């Protein structure tokens, strides 16, 4: 595959709004995970009021606050958007401004579990027997509204689509973007991203019933890990073939994707999909495993998933520095791959990594799992992993900019 450049980034998550601000907090081992209360949420008046009164999800990584509209001429329309679309739009604005992107020959590829808050509001209206609902809000029910809004606001004329591959959605979007830029000479750039606010009733019900969530703390790669924490957030990045006017954050060399669907939720226990995804990306980029010195793991903090990923990485990249971000920002679902790829690119740029928050009793000693602040790395290449239910495993190979 033809390498492409990451020229702009945007992030909204539980550590704040902005790439550099949240990156410094990551390096300082700050966390956005904290106890949450469901009784004080706006959702309490919805038709699932009784469920919220006994919701068994005690922790989350909520946004500190919803950002305001960054584009004055769009301010009147802002209030009609689901909060997940607002944060996706804000992250896109950050990335576009950061990249100094002026072309309109731009494609948009985003992913999300959807406008859950607005759908719940609509369900509540139907539950109460109402037949009318604001039309502008109703548009949020359509899953593609996020990408459509982003294309409209920025005047992008390229393809505009949503992808959904569960928790591998972020790298799926990057993979599609690289293929688009290689095959469509009329495109100048692709904006990829995601936005999710899963701290609402339907997501809490879904993940808690799958027994995927922890009631204590998210501890990736720790022997006391017990599950992940739902995190709110959005990420966006501008991808271009070349960049002449600024130094890119890093280059995307290739994405590898492998599915070994042995189980509905668990990865294959041999770790075949995880190892093969990395090997496929490396082969596609004509790179060498020996040159990879850093891994940003998917590592959600679940009992099964973490040890499989750990052993898979140990088998092909033993001793490498490997970190995980979800102990600080939670699992931001469809946007997790984008946000964590952005932090991987920043690690390559600065040659430093955040520690693994909450790690005190590592699952093994065959990898370098950092616990110190601003832990130094020295590498030109890095791997970012992204996994999803059904054995859908993806890895992206990034290269440090010259």
Instruction: Give the C-alpha separation, 236 to 191, whole Å.
Output: 7
pLDDT recorded at residue 402: 78
Predicted TM-score (pTM) of this structure: 0.96
Instruction: Give yes or no for a contact between 88 and 194, defined as CB atoms under 8 angstroms apart.
Output: yes
pLDDT recorded at residue 41: 67
Residues 225 and 311 in one domain: no
Q: How confident is the model at residue 263 (pLDDT cuts 50, 70, 90)?
A: confident
Residues with Cβ within 8 Å of residue 28, at least 6 apart in sequence = 373, 374
Residues 130 and 259 in one domain: no
Total structural domains in the chain? 2
Residues 165 and 304 in one domain: no
Instruction: Give the C-alpha separation, 115 to 151, whole Å.
Output: 17
pLDDT recorded at residue 78: 96
Residues 50 and 98 in one domain: yes
Q: How confident is the model at residue 60 (pLDDT cuts 50, 70, 90)?
A: very high
Find tokens 């949503």 and name the residue. Answer: 162
Residues with Cβ within 8 Å of residue 270, at least 6 apart in sequence = none
Residues 280 and 347 in one domain: yes
pLDDT recorded at residue 230: 98
Q: How confident is the model at residue 299 (pLDDT cuts 50, 70, 90)?
A: very high
Instruction: Indicate if the pLDDT at residue 268 is higher than 90.
Output: no
Q: Which domain holds residue 283?
A: 253-400
pLDDT recorded at residue 237: 98
Question: Which residue, 179, 210, 240, sits at the end of a domain?
Answer: 240
Instruction: Indicate if the pLDDT at residue 236 is higher than 70.
Output: yes
Q: What are 24's two structure tokens?
A: 């410094």
* Inside any domain, residue 171: yes
Percentage of residues in the chain with pLDDT exceeding 70?
A: 99
pLDDT recorded at residue 43: 61
Rounded to the nearest integer, the mean pLDDT of the chain is: 94
Instruction: Give the C-alpha separation, 9 to 239, whole Å.
Output: 9
Q: How confident is the model at residue 45 (pLDDT cuts 50, 70, 90)?
A: low
Residues 199 and 109 in one domain: yes
Break the chain down into helix, strand, coil percent, rounded to 5: 35, 25, 40
Residues 182 and 270 in one domain: no
* Inside any domain, residue 248: no
Question: Which residue, 190, 216, 240, sits at the end of a domain?
Answer: 240
Residues 266 and 160 in one domain: no
pLDDT recorded at residue 121: 86
* Inside any domain, residue 348: yes
Q: In the 8-state DSSP scheme, what is residue 68?
A: P
* Inside any domain, residue 343: yes
Residues 210 and 280 in one domain: no
Residues 184 and 322 in one domain: no
Residues 150 and 211 in one domain: yes
Q: 109: which strand partners? A: 161, 192
pLDDT recorded at residue 44: 62
Find tokens 């994405």 and name the residue. Answer: 255
pLDDT recorded at residue 40: 73
Residues 57 and 205 in one domain: yes
Instruction: Give the C-alpha separation, 337 to 198, whole Å.
Output: 15
* Inside any domain, residue 376: yes
Residues with Cβ within 8 Å of residue 168, at least 6 apart in sequence = 257, 337, 386, 387, 388, 392, 393, 394
Q: How confident is the model at residue 396 (pLDDT cuts 50, 70, 90)?
A: very high
What is the tens place of the pLDDT at every residue in 81-140?
A: 999 999 999 999 999 999 999 999 999 999 999 888 888 888 888 888 999 999 999 999
What is the tens place of the pLDDT at every residue in 214-228?
A: 999 999 999 999 999
Instruction: Give the C-alpha separation, 196 to 329, whole Å.
Output: 13
Buried b (16+ CB within 10 A) or exposed e, 328-353: bbbbbbbbbbbbbbbbbbbbbbeebb
Please give the average per-residue pLDDT across 239-248, as a whole number. Answer: 85
Question: Which residue, 216, 240, 264, sits at the end of a domain?
Answer: 240
Indicate which CATH number applies to the domain containing 92.
Answer: 3.40.47.10
Phi, then psi, of 389 in degrees rounded to 5: -50, 150
């Amino acid at each position: 595959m033809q390498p492409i450049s990451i020229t702009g980034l945007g992030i909204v998550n539980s550590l704040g709004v902005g790439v550099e601000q949240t990156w410094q907090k990551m390096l300082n081992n700050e966390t956005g995970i904290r106890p949450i209360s469901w009784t004080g949420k706006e959702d309490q008046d919805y038709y699932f009021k009784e469920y919220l009164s006994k919701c068994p999800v005690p922790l989350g990584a909520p946004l500190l606050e919803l950002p305001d509209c960054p584009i004055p001429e769009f301010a009147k329309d802002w209030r009609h958007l689901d909060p997940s679309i607002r944060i996706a739009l804000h992250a896109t604005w950050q990335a576009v401004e950061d990249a100094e992107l002026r072309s309109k020959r731009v494609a948009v590829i985003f992913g999300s579990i959807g406008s859950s808050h607005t759908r719940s509001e609509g369900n509540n209206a139907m539950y109460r027997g109402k037949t009318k609902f604001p039309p502008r809000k109703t548009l949020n029910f359509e899953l593609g509204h996020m990408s459509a809004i982003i294309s409209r606001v920025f005047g992008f004329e390229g393809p505009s689509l949503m992808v959904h591959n569960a928790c591998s959605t972020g790298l799926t979007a990057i993979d599609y973007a690289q293929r688009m830029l290689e095959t469509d000479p009329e495109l100048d750039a692709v904006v990829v991203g995601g936005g999710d606010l899963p701290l609402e009733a339907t997501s809490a019900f879904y993940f808690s019933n799958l027994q995927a969530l922890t009631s204590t703390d998210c501890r990736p790669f720790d022997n006391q890990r017990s599950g992940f924490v739902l995190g709110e957030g959005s990420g966006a990045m501008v991808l271009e073939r070349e960049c002449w006017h600024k130094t890119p954050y890093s280059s995307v060399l290739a994405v590898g994707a492998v599915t070994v669907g042995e189980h509905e939720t668990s990865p294959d226990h041999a770790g075949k999909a995880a190892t093969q995804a990395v090997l496929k990306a490396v082969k596609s980029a004509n790179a060498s495993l020996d040159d990879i010195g850093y891994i940003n793991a998917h590592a959600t903090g679940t009992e099964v998933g973490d040890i499989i990923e750990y052993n898979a990485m140990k088998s092909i990249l033993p001793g490498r520095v490997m970190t995980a971000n979800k102990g600080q920002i939670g699992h931001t679902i469809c946007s997790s791959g984008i946000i964590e790829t952005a932090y991987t690119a920043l690690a390559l740029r600065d040659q430093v990594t955040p520690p693994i928050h909450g790690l005190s009793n590592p699952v093994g000693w065959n990898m370098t799992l950092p616990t110190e602040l601003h832990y130094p790395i020295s590498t030109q290449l890095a791997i970012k992993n992204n996994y999803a239910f059904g054995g859908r495993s993806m890895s992206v190979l990034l290269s440090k900019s010259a």
